[in-house]
């Protein structure tokens, strides 16, 4: 599809805004004592601004990877940016590393890491209680000094938010993509032992060996750092070769995201993704200040996903309401196309990402509208977009922005 789109591109002065409420989709609460019983987080939230806009927008649901497949945040956002996650499989490690401002070379394997709590060889907290970012920055800096390299392979550490950090393993020679074919050690649930690292290709054997030595050395250095006394590794990845966002869609993109992984993905696409720390009001103000310099604006709102993963239904509801209150400021900029959605569903009742289709609305002058009464999962089923693959959203955005010529004579 990207090659077809590229041949139809035409430039104009239109502005496209993609507002991503991470983990937006949900499922109904089954708690008989909850005032939200029978409602999803989006249905339970007081969202007058989203609901008003939904009435005049094209609404629907999108599927990030495929029916029944639970996406990670990387594949979820790739789909939103118009890259088929099944064609462009990118490990979480490189996204985290790029988001932290680390340079990733062809000789590198990047890994996303979590500080975790392990007791009696069992993971009791995959996120080590979400420790303060500044505290963990100092711990990461200490690990860098204690483990600068292993067997001739240089290690480069980057501290992230809370329990997260990234490590780049820099080898003496360029590496093929197969070198990163190694499973995660994160068991994805408490009460289980960390998984052993197993290379899934002969060219990954050396990388797995170095990675295991890194884990062993890090755990030894953290033995007195309870609750962050262990390291779980995820998302082994090498540098991919893919068309940039501007090459694929003819757009100058600006990403405004507080969390490193999302900046990393935007940078991988060739968007400008400056380091940013601040709330949604600050993100919108930053977008306003840079409005004349870009065509496409990606604004990422994280906490809907965080509360969903923690199983905090009421907390996720409150974050959706926070995003709703910010909507008038976004609309005041008068984008030609405004898309509001999530990268995947994170139902609080599941405490995890899920495979459920994600609500989406597209506001633009040339939509049917007047079908949905509210922005919610059940209302969006009735919308004019139907249930579509995530990769269809970018062509729809371009078409509604007047940036695509007619196909054929």
More confident residue, 262 or 22: 22
Percent of the chain with pLDDT over 90: 78
- What average pLDDT does the segment 211-238 reach? 93
Q: For the chain, what's the residue count?
A: 409
Please compute the mean of the pLDDT values over residues 197-216 and round it to a whole number: 95
pLDDT score at 46: 97
Give yes or no for a contact between 26 and 40, defined as CB atoms under 8 angstroms apart. yes
The two three-digit tokens of residue 149, written as one number: 């390299």
Quick: pLDDT tens for 249-262: 999 999 999 988 88
Beta bridge partners of 158: 166
Instruction: Give the DSSP H or E segment for 259.
Output: none
- Structure confidence by residue, pLDDT tens digits, 158-168: 998 889 999 99
Q: Is the pLDDT of residue 116 over 90?
A: yes
* Tens of pLDDT, residues 285-303: 999 999 999 999 999 999 9
Identical fold for domains 2-88+242-400 and 94-237, yes or no, is no
SS3 content of the chain, % helix, strand, coil (to 5): 35, 20, 45
Given its phi and psi angles, is residue 151 left (phi above 0), alpha (psi -120 to 50 degrees) or beta?
A: left
Average pLDDT over residues 16-36: 93
Q: Report phi then psi at 78, rounded to 5.
A: -55, -45
* Range name among 266-270, 281-285, 381-385 with the lowest pLDDT average: 266-270
The residues spanned by each domain of the chain are 2-88+242-400, 94-237
Q: Cα–Cα distance between 276 and 285 in angstroms, integer?
A: 12
Report pTM.
0.78
pLDDT higher for 343 or 94? 343
Task: Report residue 329's pLDDT band, with 50, 70 and 90 as the boundaries.
Answer: very high
> In Å, how far are 180, 192, 341 from 183, measured between CA atoms?
9, 16, 30
Helix (H, G, I), strand (E, B) or coil at 190: coil
pLDDT at 6 over 90: no
Q: pLDDT at position 73, please?
A: 87
The overall average pLDDT reported for the chain is 93
Count of helix runs (H) and strand runs (E) in the chain: 14, 13
Architecture of domain 2-88+242-400: 3-Layer(aba) Sandwich (3.40)
Lowest average pLDDT, out of 39-43, 74-78, 288-292, 293-297, goes to 74-78
CATH numeric code, 94-237: 3.30.70.2130
């Amino acid at each position: 599809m990207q090659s077809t789109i590229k041949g139809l591109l035409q430039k104009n002065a239109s502005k496209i805004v993609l507002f991503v409420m991470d983990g937006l989709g949900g499922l109904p609460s089954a708690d008989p004592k909850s005032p939200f019983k029978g409602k999803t987080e989006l249905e339970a939230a007081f969202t007058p601004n989203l609901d008003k806009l939904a009435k005049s927008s094209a609404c629907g649901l999108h599927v990030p990877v495929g029916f029944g497949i639970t996406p990670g945040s990387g594949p979820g956002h790739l789909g939103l940016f118009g890259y088929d996650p099944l064609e462009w499989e990118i490990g979480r490690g490189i996204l985290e590393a790029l988001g932290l401002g680390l340079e990733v070379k062809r000789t590198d394997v990047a890994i996303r890491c979590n500080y975790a709590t392990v007791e009696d060889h069992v993971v009791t907290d995959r996120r080590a209680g979400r420790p303060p970012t500044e505290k963990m920055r100092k711990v990461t800096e200490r690990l860098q000094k204690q483990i600068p390299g292993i067997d001739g392979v240089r290690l480069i550490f980057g501290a992230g938010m809370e329990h997260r950090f990234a490590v780049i393993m820099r080898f003496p020679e360029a590496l093929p993509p197969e070198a990163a074919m190694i499973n995660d050690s994160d068991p994805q649930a408490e009460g289980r032992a960390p998984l052993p690292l197993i290379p899934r290709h002969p060219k990954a054997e050396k990388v797995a060996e170095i990675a295991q030595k890194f884990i062993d050395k890090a755990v030894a250095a953290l033995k007195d750092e309870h609750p962050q006394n262990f390291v779980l590794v995820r998302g082994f990845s090498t540098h991919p070769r893919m068309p940039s966002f501007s090459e694929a869609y003819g757009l100058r993109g600006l990403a405004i995201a507080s969390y490193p992984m999302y900046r990393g993905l935007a940078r991988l696409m060739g968007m400008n993704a400056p380091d940013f720390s601040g709330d949604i009001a600050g993100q919108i103000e930053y977008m306003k200040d840079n409005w004349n310099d870009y065509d496409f604006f990606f604004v990422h709102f994280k906490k809907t996903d965080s509360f969903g993963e923690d199983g905090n239904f009421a907390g996720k509801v409150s974050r959706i309401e926070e995003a709703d209150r910010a909507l008038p400021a976004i609309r005041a900029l008068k984008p030609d196309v405004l898309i509001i959605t999530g990268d995947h569903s994170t139902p609080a009742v599941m405490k995890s990402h899920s495979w459920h289709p994600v609500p989406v609305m597209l506001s633009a002058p040339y939509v049917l509208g007047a079908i949905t009464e509210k922005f919610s999962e059940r209302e969006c089923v009735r919308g004019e977009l139907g249930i579509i693959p995530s990769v269809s959203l970018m062509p729809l955005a371009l078409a509604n922005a007047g940036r695509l010529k007619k196909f054929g004579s």
